Amino acid sequence: MYVTIDGIEKSFNNENKEQVKVLDDIDIDLEKGSFVSIVGPSGCGKSTLLYMIAGLVQADKGNIRIAGNEVRKPGPDRVVVFQEAGLFPWLTVLENVKYGLLLKKMPKQEAEAKAIDMLKMVHLSNYIHSYPHQLSGGMKQRVSIARALVMEPDILLMDEPFSALDEQTRMVLHKELMEIWKKTKVTIFFVTHNIREAVLLSEKVIVFGTRPGKVKEIIPVPTTTDGVLPDSVTLHTEQRILAILEEEIEKVLKEEMGDDYSFTTNHLHRNDSGDMGSHI
């Protein structure tokens, strides 16, 4: 297996200085070139696990191995794309994308050529000399994806990269991300609150439970030869995931609102984007 997450445990101190276990006994394997999403209630430790793969957070117990090597710190094989693009506002699009390459001491011309190629891939060739403030949210996120991919990582770690975008832009970026994934064969680990997004994009959806975060189930997403899933299949897979999460949502709501809170599936309204709101 390419990425092996083995027996991970992690606790943090809360504001009352009490130790709270955030992740418990997490075992996950990722194949090279796979696209795996992770969904779960808010606060179940999705981002924490992503940061651990990035080498930004250390586990209390267990380990993460990539191609057999234990992750101890960030490395050039892994790049994170965050919810906010986080571009340097004083640099142009092109300068933002080539920044990391220049830091790596790549010759200027080569860095520029690579950055331009990558910006072509995310359909931003006409905006290379624009500044971030001149771009829409979706365009900024494309720059951030180009900036990540230009480093030629083996693993792209995406932490709710499209959640701040409107539905239309999100759909366009889904299509582009799928094209990029097929072209580059990069391994993608994708954190989202949006069940539909997880089902549409990934090959497997890891469903997390909460308090502490645990893998509840790993749902394979059916594939088709043309890559387009019939709506009935998408819906069925979404409903399967939702059913698993139902128990967890109830747990969170009861903890937040008291034991007399009662919850049934019918109370869970899903909007058209498949986003279940703040509790997932």
Q: How far apart are the first and last CA of the chain?
A: 29
* Residue among 121, 158, 157 at smallest CA distance from 142: 121
What binding mask, one character per residue, do residues 1-20 give for ligand ATP by CB under 6 A, x or -? -----------x--------
Size of the site for ligand ATP (CB under 6 A): 11
Residue 234 within binding range of ligand ATP, rule CB under 6 A: no
Output the CA torsion sign for 214, 219, 220, 223.
negative
Q: State the DSSP code for 193.
A: S
Q: Which listed residue (5, 8, 22, 118) binds ligand ATP by CB under 6 A? A: 22
Is residue 48 within the footprint of ligand ATP (CB under 6 A)? yes
- Nearest to ligand ATP of 193, 214 (CB atom): 193
Check residue 194 for interaction with ligand ATP (CB under 6 A).
no
In the set 47, 92, 96, 234, which binds ligand ATP (CB under 6 A)?
47
User: CA separation (Å) from 139 to 88, 136, 145, 162, 175?
Assistant: 14, 5, 10, 11, 14
Binding ligand ATP by CB under 6 A: which of 46, 142, 147, 216? 46
> Which alpha helices (DSSP H) does 126-214 contain, by range?
137-149, 167-184, 195-201
Selected range binding ligand ATP among 42-50, 140-148, 222-230, 266-274, rule: CB under 6 A:
42-50
Q: Take residue 160 and report the two structure tokens written for it.
A: 């709710």
Among 3, 30, 44, 71, binds ligand ATP (CB under 6 A): 44
Which residues bind to ligand ATP, rule: CB under 6 A?
Answer: 12, 22, 40, 42-48, 193
